[in-house]
Structure 1
Amino acid sequence: MTIDVVFTKHEVPLDLREQNVVVFDILLATSTIVTLMEKGVQSIYPAVSEQEALEKHQALPKSQLIGEKDGRPIEPYFAPPLPTILIQDHLPAQVVMLTTNGTLAIRKSEGAKRVLIGSLLNNRAIVEVFLQEENWTLVCAGSHDQLAIEDVYGAGQWIAEYLKRRPTTRLTERAEVAFATYNQKSAQREERLRQSMTGRMLIKQGYEDDIAYVAKQHAMHVIPYYERGIIRRTIDEEGI
């Protein structure tokens, strides 16, 4: 039984057939996905380009486009992937989402035994449902080709929840780093997110409320899973 962590989407192994994967883009893609599905969205299509997103949206006339590029809104068709704004709107059953890092990290994880969407909001729910599963790879989306500390922190929180229940689990050195990153600031979640590079960018853009929102540890129970191009809710409800 082993837990490993990769620090950016570009480090995702090519062969994940025996691995259970949890993808983290804490600020904000995976946190937004968890929120949308907790609020009733049934399926999300993660795109990796504007053209792909627009084509998928055209094929799904009642869907909503959500996206950003390099942390900026994509005008004029995409709603920003900000959970505090999105939950105020009427949400359709289907969403097409494009983000700089998170949706690409999800797509790169295709081929794993199981691909789950993680965040500070739902990490405990994932651990509780899948505690008996072995061989985990936690995928941090990162920022372009750089590590994003908030994703490492999120992976570390997941590890902490798992170790509470299975304390003899072996951690790779990268997983040890993630676990230590979380432990250093475990009681200061929002501050840790605010201090990150992405957090500072969001504050500068006026999105400070979204940081506080995604820092709500264990607030949600939905477990979105990705399979064959679609993120659905909830994996245990689908009998997988």
Structure 2
Amino acid sequence: MSKSKSLQYFSTYGFMIIVSAFSMYTLSSISYAAKIDMPEGYILNIQMTPAVCAFDPNQKKQRKCLEGYALTIGSLVPESFNKSEACETETSPILSPLQAKVVARVIPDESYRIQLWHAVGGCVPMNASQYFRTIINYAQNLKIPAVLTDTVSHAIGKQSLEEQFLGLNRGLPARGIQLNCQKDGRNNILTHISVCYKNNGQFKACPVNVTSNCPSQFNIQGTY
């Protein structure tokens, strides 16, 4: 996949994912496991892939870095998720070939997908296929400002980016999106975006423990 091709999956019209084969699946069709309580909501964590790859040398050899993805999904977690919690699962994250192909549009690396499921699967009331289907449902309905997929690095105001998200996504409350940055010398670089959802897939305000740490002005690292 060329760098230009990888960028076709993201635009102001959302995560451009070929999901026609999965259009029959909606959030209401998920059959939840009885032993795990339904969470109050979910948080979709989106990686600004060029920045993540630049900061973490361990990820530079992953497909998402080598093929120049602009955005990838980092995780979908219950809003009460705590990394110290015993959320690990040994259940299989293996997907059908068709579903794996669809999921690869937003989580390109199979090893990362497996690691994610093993870390989170014990705390979500669904199996691996349902979990990744939910990620696809959230991702395909989220509209992304074009500024996040630019090939050139540039500075942007926090308020400006938040307003672009709110303008593109009807029903997204002001506290429904949180931005996280990491310092690179004197510059702050946007690395992650968190979007909060109700169980039915509608946007909601993020819980108080999910906050932004970006200053009023920061940089978006262009694709490479």
TM-score tier after normalising by the smaller chain length: under 0.3
TM-score, normalising length: structure 1? 0.26
